[in-house]
Chain A
Amino acid sequence: MTRAAQGPVQVQGEVLSNKRAGAYQHLTLVAPGVAERFRPGSLVAVAVGGDLSDRMLRRSFPIYRARATGTYRSTVEVVFPVTEPGETWLCGLGAGAAVDVVGPLGRPYALPKEPVTCTLAGQAHAAAPLFSLAERLRERGCSVHMVLGAADERGLFGALEAKRAARTVVVATEDGSVGMRGPVGQVLPQLLARTGSDVVYAAGPAAMLHDVAVAAEQHGAWSQTAVDAGNLCATGACQSCVVPVVGEDGISRMVRACAEGPVFRGDRVRWADLGTVPEDSWGAERSGVER
Chain B
Amino acid sequence: MSGPDLRTSLGETTLVNPVMVAAGCAGTGRELEPFLDLSELGAMVTRSVTLDPRAGGPPPRAVETPSGLLSDPGLQGNGLQGFLATELPWLAQRQVRTVVSIAGGNLGEWAELARRVGLSPGVAGVEVNLAWPPGSVAGRDSYQAGKVLAAVRRDMPRGVPVLAKIAPDVHHVVDVARAVVKAGADVVVVGHGLPGLALDPCTLRPALGSGSGALSGPAVHAVALRCLWEIHEALPEVPLVGGGGVRSGFDALAMLAAGARAVQVGTTVLRDPGAPVRIVTELRRELEHRNIPSVADAIGHAHRPEGDPR
Contact = CB atoms under 8 A, between A and B. Distances in A.
B27 A287 contact: no
Nearest to A276: B58
Nearest to B40: A1
A56 B64 contact: yes
Contacts, number: 146
B309 interface: no
A236 B55 contact: no
Given A102-B273, A238-B270, A277 B31 contact: no
Nearest to B51: A286
B60 to A, nearest CB: 7
A242 B59 contact: yes
B273 A10 contact: yes
B56 interface: yes
B27 A237 contact: yes
A235 B31 contact: yes
A10 B270 contact: no
Is the contact region of chain A dominated by helix, strand, or loop, or is it mixed? loop
Interface residues on B, range: 35 or more
B31 A275 contact: no
Contact of A241 (B59, B68, B71): B59
A102 B27 CA distance: 17
B66 A242 contact: no
A56 B56 contact: no
Contacts of B25: 237-238
B206 interface: no
B269 interface: yes
B76 A239 contact: yes
Contacts of B273: 10, 102, 233, 235, 237
A290 B105 contact: yes
A1 B37 contact: yes
A283 B270 contact: no
Contacts of A281: 55
Contacts of A240: 59-62, 71, 73
B272 interface: yes
A282 B53 contact: yes
A8 interface: yes
A100 to B, nearest CB: 7
B269 A283 contact: no
Contact of A275 (B37, B77, B209): B209
A282 to B, nearest CB: 6
Contact of A57 (B53, B69, B218): B69
Interface in B91-107: 94, 105
Contact of B62 (A3, A235, A238, A276): A238
B54 interface: yes
A287 B74 contact: yes
B305 interface: no
Contacts of B55: 253-254, 277, 281-284, 286-287
Is the contact region of chain B dominated by helix, strand, or loop, or is it mixed? loop
Interface residues on A, range: 35 or more
Given A240-B62, A283-B53, A289-B135, A235 B32 contact: yes
Contact of A237 (B58, B64, B67, B270): B270
A2 interface: yes
Contacts of B54: 283, 286-287
A231 B273 CA distance: 15
A249 interface: no
B12 interface: no
B163 to A, nearest CB: 21
Contacts of A4: 33-34
Interface string B66-88: 11110101101101000000000
A11 to B, nearest CB: 10
A6 to B, nearest CB: 8
A220 interface: no
Interface string A1-25: 1111001111000000000000000
B239 interface: no
Contact of A291 (B35, B66, B77, B133): B133
A102 B59 CA distance: 24
B151 to A, nearest CB: 17
A64 to B, nearest CB: 22
B264 interface: no
Contacts of A253: 55
A233 B68 CA distance: 13
A236 B273 CA distance: 11
Nearest to B77: A283
Given A237-B31, A259-B31, 15 more contacts: A2-B37, A2-B39, A2-B94, A8-B34, A233-B270, A239-B47, A239-B73, A240-B71, A241-B59, A254-B76, A283-B52, A283-B53, A287-B54, A287-B56, A290-B134
12 contacts: A2-B37, A2-B39, A10-B273, A56-B270, A58-B270, A100-B272, A230-B60, A233-B270, A237-B26, A240-B71, A276-B58, A287-B76
Q: Which 6 A-B pairs have the closest CB atoms?
A: A283-B53, A233-B270, A237-B27, A283-B55, A240-B61, A284-B55
Interface of A: 1-4, 7-10, 47, 54-58, 100, 102, 230-233, 235-242, 253-254, 259, 275-277, 281-284, 286-287, 289-291
